[in-house]
């Protein structure tokens, strides 16, 4: 019996890691470990798919058939557009230069400061204690951390607001400060960019019993003030 003819695909560097091909043709494509580029990891038997369904699945023309016969483009089938694909939407990016240029520029500025990294762990805070109060001032993340995909996905530089929950726990002498990111586009960078979890939990023990807690968040400055009244 003759061998089954196989078709092989390839993915170009222009892939924007939108996941479409991996979701629609999971037996042919998968994401690389960094979730930055799809990989055509397996040849597929001729006839299993119309190659144009695969090629048109990609919104940025990154997929090509490199082994196998490509039939003439079918009439009536349409290429998936960037609007219909699961591509991250443009953020508030107004710089229209190519993403590679913006990424190269970001790299030339060097490492981010440790304080911005602390913010993503809920560690960037100061505490002032008075006879009647503890006054915490938390700085929340203000910038989306640097990563190649930040530019490739056209993500904004300004960090979306974190959701915040502040609670008193245990014997009334410990406060819990939780913060988490809900923005789905920026969250995709978590686990890719350095030191970028999608949430933090800070537990702070106090030496006095607490009567009440009030909070005030300033979104323009991304500052969270927590006033804790002692009993």
Residues lying near ligand SF4 in the complex (CB under 6 A): 11, 15-21, 29, 38, 57-58, 60, 62-63
Question: Which is closer to ligand SF4, CB of 62 or CB of 193?
Answer: 62
Distance, in Å, from the CA atom of 150 to the CA atom of 185, rounded to the nearest integer, reads: 10
Q: Rg (Cα) of the chain, in Å, rounded? A: 24
How far apart CA 122 and CA 140 sit, in angstroms, is 7
Cβ nearer to ligand SF4, comparing 60 with 93: 60
17/224 with CB nearer ligand SF4: 17
Residue 148: CB minimum distance to ligand SF4, A? 14
Distance in Å, CB of 228 to ligand SF4, minimum: 48
Closest approach of Cβ 159 to ligand SF4, in Å? Answer: 25
Nearer to ligand SF4, 31 or 213 (CB): 31
Which parts of 41-160 are beta strand (E)?
44-45, 63-67, 125-129, 133-139
Cα distance between residue 44 and residue 50, in whole Å: 11
Instruction: Please tell me the distance from the alpha carbon of residue 189 to that of residue 34, in angstroms, as a whole number.
Output: 10
Shortest distance, CB of residue 47 to ligand SF4, whole angstroms? Answer: 22
Nearer to ligand SF4, 12 or 104 (CB): 12
Quick one: DSSP state of residue 21?
A: H
Shortest Å distance, C-beta 62 to ligand SF4: 4
Answer whether 22's CB lies under 8 Å from 29's CB: yes
Secondary structure (DSSP) of 35-51: SSSEEE-S-EETTSS-H
């Amino acid at each position: 019996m003759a061998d089954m003819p196989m078709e092989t695909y390839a993915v170009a560097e222009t892939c924007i890691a939108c996941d479409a091909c991996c979701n629609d043709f999971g037996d042919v494509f998968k994401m690389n470990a960094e979730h930055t580029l799809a990989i055509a990891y397996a040849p597929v038997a001729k006839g299993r798919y119309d190659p144009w369904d695969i090629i048109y699945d990609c919104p940025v023309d990154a997929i090509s058939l490199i082994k196998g016969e490509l039939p003439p483009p079918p009439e009536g089938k349409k290429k998936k557009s960037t609007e219909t694909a699961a591509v991250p939407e443009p953020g508030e990016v107004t710089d229209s230069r190519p993403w590679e240029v913006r990424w190269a520029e970001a790299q030339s500025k060097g490492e981010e400061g440790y304080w911005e990294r602390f913010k993503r762990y809920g560690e960037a805070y100061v505490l002032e204690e008075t006879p009647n109060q503890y006054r915490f001032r938390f700085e929340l993340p203000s910038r989306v951390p640097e990563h190649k995909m930040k530019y490739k996905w056209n993500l904004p530089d300004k960090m979306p607001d974190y959701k915040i929950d502040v609670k008193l726990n245990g014997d009334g002498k410990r406060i819990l400060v939780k913060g988490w990111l809900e923005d789905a586009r920026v969250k995709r960078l978590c686990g890719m960019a350095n030191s970028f979890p999608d949430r933090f939990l800070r537990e702070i023990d106090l030496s006095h019993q607490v009567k009440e807690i009030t909070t005030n968040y300033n979104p323009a400055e991304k500052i969270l003030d927590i006033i804790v009244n002692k009993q």
